[in-house]
Amino acid sequence: MATSKSVLFVCLGNICRSPIAEAVFRKQATDKGVANDWCIDSGATSNWNEGSSPDARGIACLRKHGIETDHSARQVTQDDFQSYDYMLCMDESNLSDLNKKASKVKNCKAKVELLGSYDPQKVLIIRDPYYGSDQDFETVYEQCVRCCNAFLEANS
């Protein structure tokens, strides 16, 4: 069966927040039996980390919660704006960068939003944990669980 819905999670470097969100959403969709209905990926607004694995602290956080990822960082492309239904980003800077890029794309179909706009606890911004602690990665994980679950519910 062909996938009918698509989501791209986006942050600055695609090694911390967006791969965590991607892995969390994939697990939630799998657990609900709807993973085959979705094309799920993540990307970066920058090209700094292309080809890199997610941050080791993010991988450790995911593993602690029984989630694996084999993601390699990539930059968002113009094609992504035409092929994804949703581009869910982490903060105002990502949102601004994506909206600038989207304005230059013909036939942009992607709905660009903050992932935090789905948070039942109304925490809009998912802060970059890169210069932070393991607890900061745990906070990102918890936010992603809440937001991804609400997004999945809204799109089931």
Q: Which residues are catalytic?
A: 11, 17, 128
Mapping DSSP onto H, E and C, the string for the chain reads: CCCCEEEEEEECCCCCHHHHHHHHHHHHHHHCCCHHHEEEEEEECCCCCCCCCCCHHHHHHHHHCCCCCCCCCCECCHHHHHHCCEEEECCHHHHHHHHHHHCCCCCCCCEEEEHHHHCCCCCCCCCCCCCCCHHHHHHHHHHHHHHHHHHHHHCC
Phi/psi at 86 (5° precision)? -130, 140
- Comparing C-alpha atoms, which of 111, 117, 96, 86 is closest to residue 22? 86
What is the token pair recorded at 103?
Answer: 């304005």
